[in-house]
Amino acid sequence: MPGPRFTPLALGLPATVPFVGPETQERARGRPFAARLGANENVFGPSPRAVAAMARAAADVWMYGDPENHDLRAALAAHHGVAPGNIVVGEGIDGLLGYLVRLLVAPGDAVVTSDGAYPTFNFHVAGFGGVLHKVPYRGDHEDPEALMARAAETGAKLVYLANPDNPMGSWHGADNIARMIAAVPPGTLLVLDEAYVEFAPSGTAPAIDPEDASVIRMRTFSKGYGMAGARVGYAIGAAPLIAAFDKIRNHFGMGRIAQVGALAALGDGDWLAQVQARVAAARESLSAVARDNGLRPLPSATNFVTIDCGGDGAFARRVLAELVARDIFVRMPFVAPHDRCIRVSAGRPQDLAAFAAALPAALAAARA
């Protein structure tokens, strides 16, 4: 009996995912991790107000969520000083990236990103037949000038930049990003991924005219607001672009419980400030652990610290494998020269203690 008739594009794609989840690794290992420090989750959790609101909403889960995300969009618009028509809500930044690529990228269209930057964006581009053009980082930072030059050279539909950056934790100040936006070629859209901006120094996020058709900025409730499992992201952009999402998005993709939780989380600035302080303290602790073991922590504007292991990619992979063998879940950059590093998420004191206890033996085993 013949099987389904896949498209030529689907037939040509590898059966891969951008990241292997910790649960998958735990099943393969046959035991749980002692410290879950690889997925950049906010282990300090969501606002208690959000938890309470979601618990109350559970009784109404027989209803679909509001397909217009009306209340959440209105609150986000007020929070950012824009109109509701400048906001689209979706299933995390990953979901919104998929919608955006579907809207703008046809097979063969050029898209520009950095070599080693967030791989899920590349996953979407490949899935819709786009052609990725990559530029190297400049040191441990993405290179705005090189990205814009490659976009002009290729006639790219999209240019992707994360600020702050994943996987390196580095960041550009608002002035650099403003210059990049001013240099966007006609017909190109800059995708400014600000998933980690709540952890960044003041002055990282520039003021952007919401009707500037050359840029769309992406935000999430997964990081600073501690709601990764709820899958709530949003984008801020020019009204005509935002309206176009309605042509292709899953109008019932946002669950009622997630909508209610995000709305409550947005209103609890005191909890966000507590989380920011805890993350900053955890970054300092992680950096101290790295230095105590002769490693170099990179400056970070995120909820993780990227640690230079002092060797090449093969050595860093051995360090990572030895940490995993000792029940510490961490990840690492994929592309040289950044794959000389491991990346460790900010954790609770007990998580950081487990990492500190495992690291010396992992390093010794990797060197052996």
Query: Rounded distance, CA 80 to CA 77, Å?
Result: 5
Q: In angstroms, rounded to a whole number, what is the distance separating the alpha carbons of residues 169 and 303?
A: 8
Sequence ranges of the chain with CATH classification 3.40.640.10: 48-267
pLDDT one-digit tens code per residue, 61-85: 999 999 999 999 999 999 999 999 9
> Which residues of the chain form CATH 3.90.1150.10?
19-45+270-367
Distance, C-alpha 266 to centroid of its chain = 19
Class of 19-45+270-367 in CATH: alpha beta
How far apart CA 146 and CA 133 sit, in angstroms, is: 11
pLDDT in tens, 143-158: 999 999 999 999 999 9
CA torsion sign for 346, 348, 351, 353 is: positive
Stated pTM of the model? 0.96
- Overall fold of domain 48-267: Aspartate Aminotransferase; domain 2 (3.40.640)
Write the DSSP string, 263-300.
HHHHT-HHHHHHHHHHHHHHHHHHHHHHHHTT-EEPP-
Average pLDDT, the chain: 97
Q: How far is CA 41 from CA 166, 224, 226, 281, in A?
A: 13, 9, 7, 16
Q: Calculate what percentage of the chain has a pLDDT beyond 70.
A: 100
